[in-house]
Structure 1
Amino acid sequence: MKCVVEYPKDHPFPIQNLPYGSFYTAGDASSQRCGVAIGDYILDLQALSYTSHFSPTLDRDVFAVQPSLNAFMGLEKQTWLDFRTHLQQLLSQPSPLTLDATVAAADVEAGIAQRKHIGRRLFVDRLAQDTVLCLPCRIGDYTDFYSSLEHAYNCGVLIRGKENALQPNWRHLPVAYHGRASSIVPSGTPIHRPVGQILDKPGDTQPVIAPCRRLDFELEVGFRLSPAEAADRVFGAVLLNDWSARDIQTWEYVPLGPFLSKNFATTISPWIVPVHALEQFTCPGYDHQPPLLPYLQDGTNTNFDIPLTVALRPWESDEALDSGFAVISHSSLRHTYYTVRQMIAHHSTTGCPLNPGDLLGTGTLSAPGTEGYGSLLEMSHMGRRPFSVQSTVGEVQRTFLNDGDTVKMSGKATASNGEYAIGFGECVGTILPAVPM
């Protein structure tokens, strides 16, 4: 496919990807609407819905009146596939669209009420200062799993020792906790250091209230869902940073698990990569020993091999320089002991309903070896071993995150023919000081 939009072959958003998102322009949040990323541009799906170029099989109101993707995500898999095919055909040369295409008076078919949009551009500069990327959908519920064998083992060794690294239930079911959907923010949103109860020093039994001293990131991928059979209802995937306050977590997690240590912020990348764009990167899943119960057995047992990286820009670096980022971890989406289908199957065993826009996190994705740690908890051995990070002023030391540090997660896989790549874009957050109590 030769696209009407030009981009280098390693661009994360080629015509073979077409991730969905939500955005507004010119400082007008009331104009929020859905779009598709193509190269450095966004195809405005609301503007497109007012023209004869829109898919004849899809209700225009799905994009004409909806600011986010929930209505589209609630449709059937075949509808997603048909619309994706329509967009690829529309964006392929020869095409009726050009980069300067607008909603033309002769093309308006959505009714007289939409004529105020005549002249609006169909393509928006994604990188322009007045283009603001929003959460791609309303997130009603968020569940975070703990599905990476390498991460669970690494953390277990640090906490309980090698002999008891994995809890007895870990190889039998996908462990998870219910997160706070209201604290999910799009990439680029600054994160205030959380405040909570912590133990001031080793051996203390009386807590103090203080800003978190062991602020961590977690490299994850989040999957967006609609209700029905798991294999057909996973809409797509985003990068996910499950920010974690490790000292608050240590004190509070017994007996019911994370609360304030996890609910202050979770950052996601703004573009949902369709699961159909990832299917070419399937790879064998893990061999489950002992065997899983029948309801968790997955006949395909496949994961997605999507390389993931974490980069850190210490506050000592010049924030104007992208070179201030140093890659500190290399992992992959393939490192989930349980497949996404198994996570959904377990999630719904009690009859728990899943709704369009719900978000499921994989849990921290750590790869084998010391270069694949998906959290600072592992890299610093619970803060006991500082490690070096390259900044624009030289090497600096870290155990956990300092105020002013910026974390950037990225994910991109190259097609087998080397002619294009499928990427997630970036998931970025900068740490701000705690808000005074």
Structure 2
Amino acid sequence: MGKLKASIIAIAVVASVGVGISGCSSGSANASSDSSGCQPSRGKVTLDYWGWQDHGKAAVEEFNKTHKNIQVKYNALASGNVAYQNYFDALKAGNQPDVAMIEYDHLANFRAQNDLTNIAGCAPVKNLKKAVVPWTYSQVTLGGNDLYATPLDTAPLALYYRTDIFKQYGLTVPKTWADYMADAQKLKSENPAIAMTTFAPQDGPGVLTGLIWQAGAEPYSYQGSKFVIDMHSAPIQKVADYWQQMIDKGLVNTSIEPLTPAQYKGWSDGTIATAIGAVWEQDIMKTNAASASGKWAVAELPQWTAGDSAGGNWGGSTTAVLKGTKHPYEAAVFADWLATNPDASKAIYQNSGTGSSIQYSNSGALDTPQPYYNNQKTLQVFQKMSEGTNHNFAWSPDQTNLNGYISDALTGAFNGSSTVLKSLEAAQAKAVADLKSQSIPVVSK
């Protein structure tokens, strides 16, 4: 699923193709191959599908059993850089698959290069909007009326916390971010050897972006034919200032990078009290911190305003129909099935994740107790966070590079030469220059 390090580590994939104004225009028919007149192909059709999800093979096998005239061949790729480089190489050579797994934050990159097929006119997806979690639909339309993919999985953020540490030091599960900082300060005064959480430059494109999303910020948007980037908004300043305080007060461990053995050790030995992580992190924690089974629980994200239930997202993927497919109708059938069919969701998630399908969410699959988390029904928490995620959040057509700029710039916030806010502003300046070099009209606020 879209849970991999590609979401937090800059992907060194630079497909430097010249992009015209239409490549950025929201809802522009010129931004992709058109699917007008999308009709079923004659006879039996075989689709090529590339991706990296753990259970992709099982989902394809289930689809093939129930669709005799549409068969899918699954090509499992390594995730992140390898997958995207394979896609770009195949597109350049003209031997790309019909459908491909692409993360939400990278979909705009493919659209900007005219590498997607607009399937909005295909009958199989006519009910998609009503069948999926609302915010995921806006992700695959990219703010317009075209449809370039179907949502696959979601990656809502929540707060993982050590119940034993909270009990020992009299901490309360935080309802607000003010509560969270107060807990961190109390923990530091009681036992400075335990960090409230970890926060490093590599968390920028993942956790920090998700928290900016939760705060209601919309740093990337489209105005007609122009792309707008704004890292100066009040919500972003609020989030940046908060984490700058956490750094300055020594309330977070800034030396541990995300999803590394050092972090897993902290999760295991009790030197890290909480983790702000996505739903897919459950399985990573179970595998890499097995000795801490029964000590972790999951709570909703702390809120800026008490009583709210705003969510943020880190990762998640789509099933995109690439340009050049000879079978857009059948590709739409498969993509819609992956997004909406409960059997597809069951094959993909196996009661360990939240999907885009509303029917699956209401099927009882999210009620499964999780033994590692002391039989808590953790997926219900993540699903509530997903339902509270801002629908309007969009991504840059240069997000692949921008993620790298954010990670690089944030280094200064941790060595004292800059701040979190100034780091985001520096990343914006680099992104603007990069977009202009590709002839993409951009407005910098």
Query: Does TM-score exceed 0.5, indicating one fold?
Result: no
Instruction: Work out which of the two has the higher radius of gyration on C-alpha atoms and give 1 or 2.
Output: 1
Q: Which has the higher helix share?
A: 2
Q: Which has the higher strand share?
A: 1
With structure 1 as the length reference, what TM-score do the two structures score?
0.26
With structure 2 as the length reference, what TM-score do the two structures score?
0.25
